């Protein structure tokens, strides 16, 4: 039976008192109040949930400190920043390869060719999204095209790719029909075309989590990706099949992609430094025992 919500809002000091009543320890209550004034109580709640001994009463395990919870929050925030750094570079590389293969195999305005789509309805939806992206764009090259050319309505594929969202790019690849083109794009990243399709969908989901400041630590993903088994050779052995809904496998794939598109990158070192920076149990994001010895982390 549903109930009427009657809980009053609590002041910052009342929030600290409530947490203390439930067993949380504080090194500095004033500092805790300060952080609760900057980070919503319910946002932090996702990070202290694993510290609860009993979720029904919200009682904490003995020794749980506010500082430990805050460390998990800060770790997660810095992890999202690193993820966005990698995803941005990968997104730009995928845009570039998609535009290159489409232009060279099917022509400058191949994105407007319904014959290349798996389904006409999906093509109509994607082209409609492209028109909307162009309409709201303030990029100078879009303005130049509109001034200089009347037909076709949309700029060529090498320009249109620069105003596409990652989600739209993912959908355009998913709905692309010609197998040779799909393979050419995926091969550039040393991946199978079907696995690459699922990867783009997952990266869109992961990017949106990061962009909206959502927790990635200890999250069970609803949008996963198929794990690469035969291509590239040896990558499957670096994954953790027992953690297919955790972040670890996503990190391995990001490392592989970064190695492909930026062979001299320092992203791996920055990630490892972050993993060692905070007292966070990384098994919560799917890291297997002995992960440091795996080749992908060397």
| pLDDT per position as a tens digit, 107-157 | 999 999 999 999 999 999 999 999 998 888 888 988 888 888 878 889 999
Domain count, the chain: 2
The model's pTM is 0.93
Contact of 235 with 256, CB cutoff 8 Å = yes
Confidence of residue 243 (pLDDT cuts 50, 70, 90): very high
Q: Are residues 51 and 78 in the same domain?
A: no
Q: Are residues 185 and 264 in the same domain?
A: yes
Owning domain of residue 130: 73-297
Q: Are residues 32 and 88 in the same domain?
A: no
pLDDT recorded at residue 1: 67
Residue 1 lies in a domain: no
Q: Are residues 101 and 49 in the same domain?
A: no
Pick from 64, 91, 123: which residue ends a domain? 64
Residue 5 lies in a domain: no
Q: Could you report the per-residue pLDDT of 186-241, keeping only the tens digit for each? A: 999 999 999 999 999 999 999 999 999 999 999 999 988 889 988 999 999 999 99
Q: Are residues 45 and 118 in the same domain?
A: no
Residue 162 lies in a domain: yes
Q: Are residues 78 and 134 in the same domain?
A: yes
Q: Are residues 117 and 255 in the same domain?
A: yes
Q: Are residues 79 and 40 in the same domain?
A: no
pLDDT recorded at residue 283: 94
Q: Are residues 160 and 242 in the same domain?
A: yes
């Amino acid at each position: 039976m549903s109930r009427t919500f009657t809980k009053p809002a609590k002041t910052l000091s009342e929030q600290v008192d409530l947490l203390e009543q439930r067993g949380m320890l504080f090194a500095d209550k004033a500092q805790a109040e300060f952080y609760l004034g900057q980070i919503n109580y319910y946002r932090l709640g996702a990070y202290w949930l694993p510290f609860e001994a009993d979720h029904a009463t919200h009682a904490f395990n003995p020794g749980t400190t506010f500082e430990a919870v805050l460390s998990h929050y800060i770790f997660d925030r810095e992890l999202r920043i690193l993820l966005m750094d990698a995803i941005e570079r990968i997104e730009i590389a995928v845009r570039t390869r998609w535009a290159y293969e489409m232009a060279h195999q099917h022509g400058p305005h191949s994105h407007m060719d319904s014959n290349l789509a798996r389904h006409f309805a999906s093509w109509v939806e994607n082209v409609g999204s492209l028109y909307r992206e162009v309409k709201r764009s303030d990029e100078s090259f879009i303005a130049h095209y509109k001034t200089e050319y009347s037909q076709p309505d949309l700029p060529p594929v090498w320009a249109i790719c620069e105003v596409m969202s990652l989600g739209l790019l993912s959908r355009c690849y998913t709905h692309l029909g010609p197998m040779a083109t799909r393979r050419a794009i995926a091969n550039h990243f040393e991946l199978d075309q079907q696995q690459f399709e699922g990867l783009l969908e997952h990266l869109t989901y992961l990017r949106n989590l990061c962009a909206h400041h959502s927790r990635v630590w200890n999250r069970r993903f609803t949008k996963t990706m198929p794990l690469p088994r035969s291509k590239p050779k040896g990558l499957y052995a670096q994954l953790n099949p027992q953690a297919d809904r955790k972040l670890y496998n996503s990190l391995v794939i990001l490392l592989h992609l970064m190695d492909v598109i930026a062979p001299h990158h320092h992203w791996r070192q920055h990630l490892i430094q972050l993993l060692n920076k905070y007292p966070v149990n990384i098994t919560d994001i799917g890291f297997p025992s002995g992960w440091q010895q795996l080749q992908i982390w060397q």
